[in-house]
Amino acid sequence: MALIVHKYGGTSVGSPERIKNVAKRVAKARAEGHDIVVVVSAMSGETNRLVALAHEMQEHPDPRELDVVLATGEQVTIGLLAMALKDIGVDAKSYTGWQVALKTDTAHTKARIESIDDQRMRADLDAGKVVIVAGFQGISSEGNISTLGRGGSDTSAVALAAALKADECQIYTDVDGVYTTDPRVVPEARRMDTVTFEEMIELASLGSKVLQIRSVEFAGKYKVRLRVLSSLQDGGNGTLITFEEDENMERAAVTGIAFDKNQARINVRGVPDKPGVAYQILGAVADANIEVDMIIQNVGSEGTTDFSFTVPRGDYRQTIEILSKLQDSIGAAAIDGDDTVCKVSAVGLGMRSHVGVAAKIFRTLAEEGINIQMISTSEIKVSVLIDEKYMELATRVLHKAFNLG
């Protein structure tokens, strides 16, 4: 008998019928003798609906009150799933994030998990119950409802699995595993039986929507066995996220191609080329809790430099406003940007033992007339920032160039 955490996303619980199907899947696992903890998202589309309602009340909703509103989405789902399980004879008990309690910091709408009290869950499991927990939410150190940001239900599931020392955390979604790229863009994309945590962290951070990056980081830190499976079909082993490198990994330089539309480029032009300028620019952005990704600096010949970086598209306007207020104090000649860009990335442990991967990427894109605006690399990935209109074309040609189909 094993302790297994199931996580079901919004699509998997998107209707009463699908919630009943989830209940049957959970009941089957329970009948096999496993202890089961289930983490669920809000029904698909519900979080967007709640955000829209909040914006009808305030142009910029108060973060604390927004979290109060958003947390109701998962609360509905846990109650419905508990009812569905009881209806088929499986004893179940639902918990909101604050009831568990999953404790977070005070960064509303982007909270980070600090600790989990597993006492109530263990008592219910010992009593033979299925425990159902609302994903995406917790309680802050100030006693307020908090949410973890988009994709936070994955993070909740892995964090609970770590706290409970679960044998496996199974992420059920609308796809049957991790693919070499999005099969909706490249029909020839191939499902991988295994992928390393290192690669999955890169893929998740670079735009792969199968797993949220914070969940993969948690899994890696606490050595949680993680598996991606389909909630819409029976059978199959999905994709196992493993700590062990495939013995054949060296045969392939690239494992997968990821893309991300959630990008905007910020340009700070003509600032003095002196120590501290980068901190003045990025420090102000960090103070606003805005994440910065790709960064380049071009030093001019007259003691000035152009500084460019990327932020999430939703933070584009706020970043421009922040830096415009600092323009005079940092001595910038101009501040502008572009929110019609995207990032396309190639990922693979094989890059460590293969040369020419970046050159092959650049040549492949050049042959299609795709201009590269920014480049970022690590030991196992190469990312390029390009015009958004070329995103699908770039993904297809790179997938083909590295024979990933």
Instruction: Round to whole Å and give the CA distance between 348 and 345.
Output: 10
Beta carbons within 8 Å of 328's beta carbon, 6+ residues apart: none
pLDDT, residue 405, reads 86
**Segment among 266-270, 274-278, 400-404 with least mean pLDDT:** 274-278
Residues 7 and 172 sit within 8 Å (Cβ to Cβ):
yes
Indicate the average pLDDT of the chain.
92
296-321 per-position pLDDT tens digit: 988 776 788 999 999 999 999 999 99
- Give the per-residue pLDDT at 236: 79
| pLDDT tens string 329-355 | 999 999 999 999 999 999 998 888 888
What angle is formed at CA 129 by the lines to CA 163 and CA 43, rounded to 5 degrees? 75
Of all residues in the chain, the percent with pLDDT exceeding 70 is 98
Whether 211 contacts 153, CB under 8 Å: no
Could you tell me the pLDDT band of residue 367, with boundaries at 50, 70 and 90?
very high
Confidence (pLDDT) at 151: 75
Q: What is the pLDDT of residue 301?
A: 67
In the chain, % helix, strand, coil (3-state, to 5) comes to 40, 30, 35
Q: Is residue 146 pLDDT above 50, yes or no?
A: yes
Position 172 scores a pLDDT of 94
Q: pTM (2 decimals)?
A: 0.80
The reported pLDDT for the residue numbered 209 is: 76
Confidence of residue 252 (pLDDT cuts 50, 70, 90): confident
pLDDT at position 251 is 54
Which DSSP string do the residues of 98-160 spell out, in sequence order? HHHTEEE-S-TTS--EEEE--HHHHHHHHTTPEEEEETTEEEETTS-EEE--TTHHHHHHHHH
pLDDT digits (tens, 9 = 90+) for 30-64: 999 999 999 999 999 999 999 999 999 999 999 99
pLDDT of 237 strictly over 80: yes
Note the pLDDT tens digit of each residue in 148-173.
987 789 999 999 999 999 999 999 98
> pLDDT tens across 173-227, in order?
888 899 999 999 999 999 999 998 889 988 888 877 788 888 888 898 889 999 9
Q: What angle do CA 107, 109, 111 make, to 5 degrees?
A: 45
324, 337 contact by CB (below 8 A)? no
Question: Model confidence at 249, in pLDDT bands (50, 70, 90)?
Answer: very low
pLDDT at 207: 75
Alpha carbons 61 and 324: distance in angstroms, whole number: 23
